């Protein structure tokens, strides 16, 4: 007897075949089973998505269907909750089921043949696991299957010689105790609103520790926004849990890992061997059959929103997955997104999250940095570093303290310019300028990647005097070295440096950390005290625990004050407050820590709130403005983007699609704005345009988008779609 199985495969994003394909099987495989199936001339990984279909009801002829190529019986069927998560993601973000489901699986699982995968599974099964050591009681909770540990990560352990039990304790602040108590007692979801340096990471560790101590099979998912934040968090978790649960209990999951490493981590999570998974946004789809806790650190970070493929928000999916699997969800940030802040208002006002607050830094003497505003209108003309700030940095160096100078623009200069004819280093393939990188003498486009050597003379008029305009971190590093040339750091070798050592300056950005291990090496130099002044982009302005930095300076603090993007003030305030939090994280030095802001608008309300470290008032003011303007979170948006060889074709497709939507019953509940070019309208010789769709009702917007899909596919086949390269819907966009 043969069965007809609905199977998901990875089909093109805009294929009108949005659901499962039917294949023939000799056995009735349970939903979630991984298989390999033929498709055209290829053999692809597939997932059995439902129970067998009736050929009569489906009007199918079994004789014309292709059989399965292989069954991957070494992996248990994917759980029903995982399949529901994928279904919701595809449905909400307007993508095909197969695209979401197969993209959520590790690449090697999709690429390896059945024989190759069988070998990997055999190797994974024979990997040594941790033994079963004596019982441990962590903070009063009995923990079975753990190993004794003492003296690491702030852990204190005592042994009861009669029972063989180890009692482990961690000293917590009053606020941490109160927060963890509420977390234990209430269902959530939770928003942990904690000042920078208030000990949010320790709360995460406590929540995970208590869960694993009370449930021998439970799993936890801990998410961070960026790959470069994963190593330090992994070190903290391994320090705490390796000795308790073994070296395989904590695994990482992010795109910076090799395909083999990602497969190994996925298999460990899927089998339940990994008790804790640390990862970036892709980890929200990790197969974790015993998931009981999800933590999203720095939940405000835009990196949680995917900008390609299925443009999903991992933070929002984490909340949905928690509800789906009855797992607790904890979102944490010193600068929560306005959406999360709005959701954490009191339940009596319609709030959906429980807000947990930790306004104080750890340590009896700890305090938040003093924020100083430098009015650049009163500084020397064309001044890059204000003299008072330069003097403050020099004083820190002389005392053996560290400073962080923050500029969110990498490269040497944003553009090269000829003073004679006005030529600028425009990218020939994009409507953007190529950035000057002095270190390798190249002009490089940060959008398409096109690079070439810096010309000796102006390409337009032959003038040899072409000069950089503006500043990036590379030029700022060079400029600081010139300004601080006469300053000396505390003397470590009087014979070699009788008058003191010169200042040591380092730069951390995407250019200086391209090589494998470069970021870790640079951070190690900072943590060891080898570096006096650290220059960098937002890579170093958030999440890092620099214990020696006592001064942070933002050079171009006005960059987003008057942006057309309504989210720009929120992002700027969050970034600056996060950068402020890098100073004075050691309680002994926090009283003298400072944040310097160079600005031409010192009285701007955003800087007034920042000076008071007052996120609450800033958020209240922003939410009031958004409510008055009917903007998110008081309305719901989607973007339809189109790419073509010409702007006319891209906008023509959007306009035709909008006209076709006028016949839909749901169109009366949404507003469709005119098609416009993107701010950078051409990238890699592809013209880009977009159309904003908005509604006061999320349900109405979703109904419209679902009904609109057929119109979009139809328009793509019409003359208006001729020349179109691709189109995509972005639900809940972060940039407009």
Residue spans of the domains in the chain: they are: 3-125, 136-358, 370-410+473-628, 413-470, 636-731
Each residue's pLDDT tens digit, 218-236:
999 999 998 877 788 888 8
pLDDT value, residue 604? 93
Q: Which of 206-215, 576-585, 632-641 comes out lowest in average pLDDT?
A: 576-585
| Among 409, 430, 380, 553, CA closest to 480 | 553
pLDDT over 60 at 289, yes or no: yes
- Higher-confidence residue: 66 or 111? 66
- Please list, residue by residue across 566-592, b when 16 or more beta carbons sit within 10 angstroms of its beta carbon and e when fewer do: ebebbbbbbbbbbbbbbbbbbbebbeb
Confidence of residue 674 (pLDDT cuts 50, 70, 90): very high
pLDDT value, residue 543? 74
> CB of 223 within 8 A of CB of 279?
yes
Confidence of residue 165 (pLDDT cuts 50, 70, 90): very low
Each residue's pLDDT tens digit, 382-413:
889 999 999 999 999 988 899 999 998 888 88
Confidence of residue 505 (pLDDT cuts 50, 70, 90): very high
Each residue's pLDDT tens digit, 329-349:
999 999 999 999 999 998 888
pLDDT over 50 at 649, yes or no: yes
What does DSSP assign to residue 381? T
- Give SS3 for 395: helix
pLDDT value, residue 268? 93
Do domains 136-358 and 370-410+473-628 share one topology? The answer is yes
pLDDT value, residue 127? 54
pLDDT over 60 at 591, yes or no: yes
Share of the chain above pLDDT 70, in %: 90
Each residue's pLDDT tens digit, 678-703:
999 999 999 999 999 999 999 999 99
What mean pLDDT is predicted for residues 481-485?
Answer: 93
Pairwise CA distance, residues 317 & 89, whole Å: 8
pLDDT value, residue 494? 65
pLDDT over 80 at 242, yes or no: yes
pLDDT over 60 at 240, yes or no: yes
Each residue's pLDDT tens digit, 117-162:
777 777 766 554 443 333 444 444 444 444 443 332 334 444 444 4
Extract the tokens encoding 182.
């509420």
- Higher-confidence residue: 490 or 26? 26
pLDDT value, residue 192? 97
pLDDT value, residue 169? 54
pLDDT over 90 at 278, yes or no: yes
- Within a 10 A sphere around the Cβ of 416, how many other Cβ atoms? 22
Q: What CATH number belongs to 636-731?
A: 3.30.70.600
Extract the tokens encoding 646.
């010409």
Domain 3-125 superfamily per CATH = PriA, 3(prime) DNA-binding domain (3.40.1440.60)
Phi first, then psi, for residue 687 (nearest 5°) are -85, 140
| Among 702, 704, 679, 689, CA closest to 653 | 689
Q: In Å, what is the CA distance from 339 to each residue of 91, 133, 619?
A: 21, 45, 10
pLDDT over 90 at 495, yes or no: no
What mean pLDDT is predicted for residues 674-679?
Answer: 95
pLDDT value, residue 167? 43
What mean pLDDT is predicted for residues 696-724?
Answer: 92
What mean pLDDT is predicted for residues 468-482?
Answer: 91
pLDDT value, residue 131? 38
Domain 370-410+473-628 superfamily per CATH = P-loop containing nucleotide triphosphate hydrolases (3.40.50.300)
At the top level of CATH, the class of 136-358 is alpha beta
pLDDT value, residue 306? 92
pLDDT over 50 at 364, yes or no: yes
- Give SS3 for 40: coil
Each residue's pLDDT tens digit, 454-464:
999 999 999 98
What mean pLDDT is predicted for residues 593-617?
Answer: 93
Pairwise CA distance, residues 251 & 249, whole Å: 7
- Higher-confidence residue: 14 or 44? 44
- Give SS3 for 12: coil
pLDDT value, residue 138? 46
Confidence of residue 542 (pLDDT cuts 50, 70, 90): confident
pLDDT over 50 at 377, yes or no: yes
> CB of 393 within 8 A of CB of 551?
yes
What mean pLDDT is predicted for residues 57-79?
Answer: 83
pLDDT value, residue 40? 83
**Mean pLDDT estimate for the chain:** 87
Q: Which residues pair with 644 in a beta bridge?
A: 687, 724
What mean pLDDT is predicted for residues 617-643?
Answer: 96
């Amino acid at each position: 007897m043969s069965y007809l199985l609905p199977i998901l495969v990875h089909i093109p994003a805009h294929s009108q075949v949005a659901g499962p394909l039917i294949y023939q099987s000799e056995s009735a495989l349970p939903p979630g089973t991984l298989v390999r199936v033929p498709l055209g001339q290829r053999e692809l990984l597939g997932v059995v998505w439902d129970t067998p279909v009736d050929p009569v009801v489906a009007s199918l002829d079994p004789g014309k269907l292709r059989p399965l190529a292989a069954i991957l019986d070494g992996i248990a069927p994917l759980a029903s909750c995982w399949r529901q998560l994928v279904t919701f993601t595809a449905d909400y973000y307007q993508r095909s089921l197969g695209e979401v489901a197969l993209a959520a699986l590790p690449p090697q699982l999709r690429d390896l043949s059945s024989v190759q995968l069988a070998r990997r599974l055999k190797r994974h099964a024979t990997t040594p696991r941790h033994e079963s050591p004596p019982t441990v009681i962590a903070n009063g909770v009995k923990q079975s299957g753990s190993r004794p540990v003492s003296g690491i990560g702030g852990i204190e352990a005592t042994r009861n010689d009669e029972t063989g039990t180890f009692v482990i304790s961690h000293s917590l602040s009053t606020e941490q105790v109160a927060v963890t108590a509420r977390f234990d007692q209430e269902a959530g979801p939770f928003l942990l609103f904690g000042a920078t340096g208030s000990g949010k990471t320790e709360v995460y560790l406590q929540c995970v520790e208590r869960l694993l101590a009370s449930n021998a099979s439970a799993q936890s998912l801990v998410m961070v926004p960026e790959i470069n934040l994963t190593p330090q968090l992994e070190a903290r978790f391994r320090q705490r849990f390796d000795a308790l649960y073994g070296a395989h209990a904590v695994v990482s999951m992010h795109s910076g890992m090799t395909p083999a490493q990602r497969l190994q981590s996925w298999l460990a999570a899927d089998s339940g061997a990994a008790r804790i998974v640390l990862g970036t946004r892709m980890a929200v789809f990790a197969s974790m059959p015993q998931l009981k806790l999800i933590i999203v650190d720095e939940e405000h970070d835009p990196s949680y929103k995917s900008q390609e493929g299925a443009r999903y928000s991992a933070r929002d999916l984490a909340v949905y997955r928690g509800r789906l699997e009855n797992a607790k969800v904890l979102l944490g940030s010193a600068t929560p997104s306005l959406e999360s802040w709005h959701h954490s208002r009191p339940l009596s006002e319609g709030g959906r999250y429980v807000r947990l607050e930790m306004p104080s830094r750890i340590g009896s003497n700890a305090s938040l940095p003093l924020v100083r505003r430098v009015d650049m209108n009163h500084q020397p003309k064309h001044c890059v570093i204000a003299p008072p700030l330069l003097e403050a940095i020099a004083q820190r160096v002389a005392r053996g303290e560290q400073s962080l100078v923050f500029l969110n623009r990498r490269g040497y200069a944003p553009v090269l310019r000829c003073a004679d004819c006005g030529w600028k280093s425009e990218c020939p393939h994009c409507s953007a300028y190529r950035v000057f990188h002095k270190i390798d003498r190249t002009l490089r486009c940060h959008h398409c990647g096109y690079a070439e050597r810096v010309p000796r003379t102006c390409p337009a008029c032959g003038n040899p005097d072409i000069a950089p305009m503006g500043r990036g971190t590379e030029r700022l590093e060079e400029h600081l070295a010139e300004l601080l040339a006469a300053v000396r750091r505390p003397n470590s070798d009087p014979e070699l440096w009788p008058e003191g050592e010169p200042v040591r300056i380092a730069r951390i950005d995407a250019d200086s950390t391209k090589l494998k291990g470069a970021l870790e090496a640079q951070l190690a130099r900072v943590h060891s005290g080898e570096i006096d002044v650290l220059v960098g982009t937002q890579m170093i302005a958030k999440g890092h625990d620099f214990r020696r930095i006592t001064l942070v300076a933002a050079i171009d603090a006005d960059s987003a004050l008057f942006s057309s993007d309504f989210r720009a003030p929120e992002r700027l305030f969050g970034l600056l407050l996060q950068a402020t939090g890098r100073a004075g994280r050691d309680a002994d030095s926090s009283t003298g820590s400072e944040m310097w802001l160079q600005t031409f608008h010192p009285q701007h309300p955003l800087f007034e709130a920042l000076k008071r470290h007052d996120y609450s008032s800033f958020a209240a003011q922003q939410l009031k403005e958004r409510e008055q303007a009917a903007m998110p979170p008081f309305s719901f948006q989607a973007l339809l983007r189109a790419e073509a060889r010409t702007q006319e074709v891209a906008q023509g497709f959007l306009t035709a699609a909008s006209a076709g939507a006028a016949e839909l019953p749901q169109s009366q509940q949404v507003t469709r704005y005119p098609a416009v070019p993107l701010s950078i309208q051409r990238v890699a010789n592809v013209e880009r345009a977009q159309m904003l769709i908005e509604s006061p009702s999320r349900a109405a917007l979703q109904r419209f988008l679902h009904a609109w899909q057929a119109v979009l596919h139809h328009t793509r086949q019409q003359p208006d779609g001729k020349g179109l390269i691709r189109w995509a819907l972005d639900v809940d966009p972060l940039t407009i």
